[in-house]
Amino acid sequence: MSQLPWHEELNAALSERKAAGRYRQSRLRTGEQGVNIVVDGKPMLSFCSNDYLGLAAHSDIKQAFKKAIDKEGVGSGAAHLLTGHSHYHQQLEEALAEFTGQQRVLLFSTGYMANLGVIDGLLSRGDMVIQDKLNHASLLDGGRLTEAEQLRFPHADMGRLHKRLHTAAHAKHRLIVSDGVFSMDGDIAALPEMMALAEQHRAAVLIDDAHGFGVIGKGGRGTVSHYNLAADKTPIVVGTLGKAIGTGGAFVAADEVVIESLIQKARSYVYTTAQPPAIAAATLASLQLVENENWRREQLQDLIKQFRQGAEQLGLELMPSITPIQPIVIGDDKKALAIGKSLEDKGLLVGVIRPPTVPNNTARLRVTLSASHRAEDIEKLLAALELACAH
């Protein structure tokens, strides 16, 4: 049995985390992803998936995956720069470039790897990366990985971002980094203001649109489209494919020079095996559904409105979100866990988010909605919340 010399220290830290109500545990889902799932052997109505458009188990996407498996097998067998780059990968990069309105797209195996690769690949010693304090962990880790200096500004505070840019005036290059839709709050970055500040200070902007891509903007094109930015005012965009798109992997969309630079320098692209070609084939099928079936986003907006109106009538503390991410702030870690357990006992699964994922004293229920939910599902959740939060 493998055991570290500091075994007891680790064990004590685990015990402390349990006592504080911050212990994490995985859940075992059986069957397809969706709103009605089986978790740990129990049927559940789920409000904690990022499958925002309900596409993860769509028949067209599954069929595209199966056909590609028959043609190309399962594994890609190599990195993209060796023999792992299939025609499905190439077609997907071209389709995503057209969909986003960018010159080029580069596929990555995960969103985490894309964020690490793009920040480290574009910055070096003497540069500066300036990040929103509530950015996703992968963006913050990308900042730590690079040799560039890292500054952070209070969430969505454009005045403080302006000051940070003045502080970074000595840097050779400056990169502003932000989520598009913030994963724990559900709010949307002030991208037009961010782009204006970037232009003023000769900085670049990187947006991680993991929770916006497929959900907001024309045809689901994300945060850039949501604000209707001009083509010459577009940031570098990272998009993930395992959330609204329902498949897996991620991409970086940018101009020709940025993409070619990442091919040369992004370590998380160069030194890893390409995702299975069938995943790319499935994503091509999903992308057509995302663009053409606008009813999914319309259904989602109706459900968001219904949930927010009902939650406000119950006096629940919501956050200013128009996206499928609808957090209910509880505050105390153990109280949030108790409410989550009460909901689960009634067959409702909701994410319970505690520090350090969110700031201290802001533990919350992270309700995420899907186009596959029905109005009666929302009413069932609201009724359970009324009882659970009254205690």
Distance CA 208, CA 49 (A): 19
Q: In what order do the strands lie in the sheet with 363-368?
A: 29-30, 36-39, 42-47, 348-353, 363-368, 325-331
211 a catalytic residue: yes
Tell me the DSSP string of 235-289: PEEEEESSSTTSS--EEEEE-HHHHHHHHHH-HHHHTSBPPPHHHHHHHHHHHHH
**51 Cβ contact list (under 8 Å, min separation 6):** 33, 34, 243, 244, 246, 370, 372
* Residue 183 labelled as part of a binding site: yes
Q: How far apart are the first and last CA of the chain?
A: 45
Nearest to 45 by CA among 54, 57, 55, 37: 37
Tell me the DSSP string of 179-210: ESB-TTT--B--HHHHHHHHHHTT-EEEEE-T
* Residue 126 labelled as part of a binding site: no
* Residue 240 labelled as part of a binding site: yes
341 a catalytic residue: no
226 a catalytic residue: no
> Based on C-alpha coordinates, what's the Rg of the chain?
21
Q: Which of 183, 225, 268, 370 is catalytic?
A: 183
3-state secondary structure of 366: strand
Q: Which of 58, 85, 89, 211 is catalytic?
A: 211
Distance CA 389, CA 385 (A): 6
* Residue 24 labelled as part of a binding site: yes
Task: Detail the residues annotated as belonging to a binding site for substrate.
Answer: 24, 136, 357
Task: Detail the residues annotated as belonging to a binding site.
Answer: 24, 111-112, 136, 183, 211, 240, 357
Catalytic residue numbers, as ranges: 183, 211, 243
Task: Detail the residues annotated as belonging to a binding site for pyridoxal 5'-phosphate.
Answer: 111-112, 183, 211, 240
